[in-house]
Amino acid sequence: GESVGLHLPTLSVQEGDNSIINCAYSNSASDYFIWYKQESGKGPQFIIDIRSNMDKRQGQRVTVLLNKTVKHLSLQIAATQPGDSAVYFCAETFGTSGSRLTFGEGTQLTVNP
């Protein structure tokens, strides 16, 4: 079925390093993608989004890259900080889905001081 999956369930980095979290999606009709950060016991927090007519979008310390050819999405976090430790989910939707988001399984990012 249609799903959004993640390549790695866990990622451990040193404070100050750059982090890259990957996501593969299977629905070529998806036209909107969102990255969420979820800390333990809290709801998902919006980080950054990208539409399918773009291949890159930058925010504060974060960059999302979209490769529609291979249906791949990535989240880059620059100068990773301990406060970035959380589970990161990518989510996708497409026009006829009624805005229903499909989430991947999440990647646990651990930042070591």
Partner 1 sequence: EAEVAQSPRYKITEKSQAVAFWCDPISGHATLYWYRQILGQGPELLVQFQDESVVDDSQLPKDRFSAERLKGVDSTLKIQPAELGDSAMYLCASRTGNTPSGQETQYFGPGTRLLVL
Shortest distance, position 58 Cβ to partner 1, whole Å: 17
Out of 77, 85, 86, 106, the only residue in the binding site for partner 1 (CB under 8 A) is 106
**Contact between residue 1 and residue 100 where contact means Cβ atoms under 8 Å apart:** no
Q: Measured between alpha carbons, how far is residue 96 from residues 25, 26, 29, 32, 93 in Å?
A: 17, 16, 9, 12, 9
Residue 91 interacts with partner 1 (CB under 8 A): yes or no: yes
Q: Which two tokens stand for residue 57?
A: 């979008």
Out of 36, 75, 86, 109, the only residue in the binding site for partner 1 (CB under 8 A) is 36
Query: Measuring CA to CA, which residue among 86, 34, 89, 30 is closest to residue 57?
Result: 34
Window contacting partner 1 (CB under 8 A); options: 54-62, 64-72, 74-82, 103-111: 103-111
Residue 103 interacts with partner 1 (CB under 8 A): yes or no: yes
Question: Which positions touch partner 1 (CB under 8 A)?
Answer: 4, 31-32, 34, 36, 41-46, 49, 51, 89, 91, 93-95, 97-101, 103-106
